[in-house]
Amino acid sequence: MDYKSKRIAILSPVAWRTPPRKYGAWETVAGNICEGLVARGWNDVTIFATKDSITKAKLHAVIEKGYEEDEDADRKVCEILHISEIMEMSDQFDLIHNNFDFIPLTFSRLIRTPILTTIHGFSSPKILPVYRKYKDGYYVSISDSDRDPELSYLATVYNGINLDELTVGKSRGDKLVFLGRIDPDKGTHLACETAKKAGMELIIAGIIQNRDYFDNLVKPHIDDKQIKFIGPVGPVERDALFKEAYAVLHLNELPERFGLVMAEANGAGVPVIAYDRGSCREVIADGKSGFLVTNVNEAVQAIKKIDQINPQTCRKHVEDNFSIDRMVSGYEKVYEEIFKREDAKK
């Protein structure tokens, strides 16, 4: 059966615009799912996002702009108004694809429309009781490593990135790059230590999510000569940044859930040196699109081997595994399974 006439609602977060101007990983993925469905011929797709969002699908919004971009906005009020809107309209859809964490689950037994939740990561063990209360729902993980043993998953669907926004440079850059949120989880300070030990320049790009961490462990390294901080970057600036990159450092302190930056870097032909934690070995092909390491000294040694990595091999790795089309193809199979199960209940 061709399910492409089914009515699909994509629930995106409202911290940032979809797609985000600069930072916003979950909004990025939700937007890519939506645009990918439209490109593959789904003719009734609605995305619930902020009013300033950009899409080829139908846009429904009650929040003017992302609460992170509006100093007068109250986060919880925005979230509840946004989520309750899609739930009150649920009978207009055949499936709600939730990319907004656990709050929508609390509506799932109050509506008839099935909800598929892509779990973009568990922010804290404290939220697990909600997932476990609604463990009979439909779930997808974004990596095999980031799963809760008490939940039943329909599939792992890797995140897909927009390869049209990434170009492989004619030559390799000469700087190390850290791209991501400035937070202990992401190991920004370890990137600084690695650059200093390797005697290379480092460019740090991203939002400061943890100010104390930045001020105490990252800022002391920044001298605007060997180590520079340029703040968050959008797609155009990101592609230019990758042109300067010899390698991207992703020395994550906690197990990585997926790591869009790793796929984005590889998509631009840039090798990634990552700690072998969580999903990193699912995203990086060790020795082919980068190197997996366990400490700073190993990261320094990996830098010496970067010339072994072919930029076109990095790009091909992403094209084969982490494109929007590959991701949406995976979700189509999940949607089909949900529709079959729902039909069997009737």
Per-domain boundaries in the chain: 8-160+323-345, 163-321
Give the pLDDT score at 2. Answer: 83
pLDDT of residue 154: 98
Confidence tier at 285 by pLDDT (50, 70, 90) = very high
Average pLDDT over residues 304-310: 97
Spatial distance between the Cα atoms of 117 and 101, rounded to a whole number of angstroms: 7
Domains 8-160+323-345 and 163-321 share a fold: yes
Helix (H) or strand (E) holding 344: helix 324-345
pTM for this one? 0.96
Give the per-residue pLDDT at 286: 98
pLDDT at 346 (0 to 100) = 79
**Is residue 312 a contact partner of residue 270, using CB atoms and an 8 Å limit?**
no
**Quick one: pLDDT at residue 166?**
98
Report the pLDDT value the prediction gives residue 191, as an integer from 0 to 100. Answer: 98
pLDDT value of residue 321: 98
Pick the CATH number of 163-321 from 3.40.50.2000, 3.30.1490.20, 3.40.50.150, 3.90.180.10: 3.40.50.2000
CA nearest 78: which of 54, 59, 107, 100? 100
Distance separating alpha carbons of residues 50 and 48, to the nearest angstrom: 7
- Concatenate the DSSP letters of all residues of 272-326 into one string: EEEES-BTHHHHS-BTTTEEEESSHHHHHHHHTTGGGS-HHHHHHHHHHHSBHHH
Class of domain 8-160+323-345: alpha beta
Interior angle at CA 114, CA 111 and CA 117, nearest 5: 115
Q: What percent of the chain has pLDDT over 70?
A: 100
Mean pLDDT computed over 69-76? 96
What's residue 328's pLDDT? 98
Average pLDDT, the chain: 97
Question: Is a pLDDT exceeding 80 seen at residue 1?
Answer: no
Query: How confident is the model over 101-152, as pLDDT tens digits?
Result: 999 999 999 999 999 999 999 988 999 999 999 999 999 999 999 999 999 9
pLDDT in tens, 209-241: 999 999 999 999 999 999 999 999 999 999 999
Confidence of residue 297 (pLDDT cuts 50, 70, 90): very high
pLDDT of residue 344: 93
Rounded mean pLDDT, 181-200: 97
Predicted local distance difference test score (pLDDT) of residue 79: 98
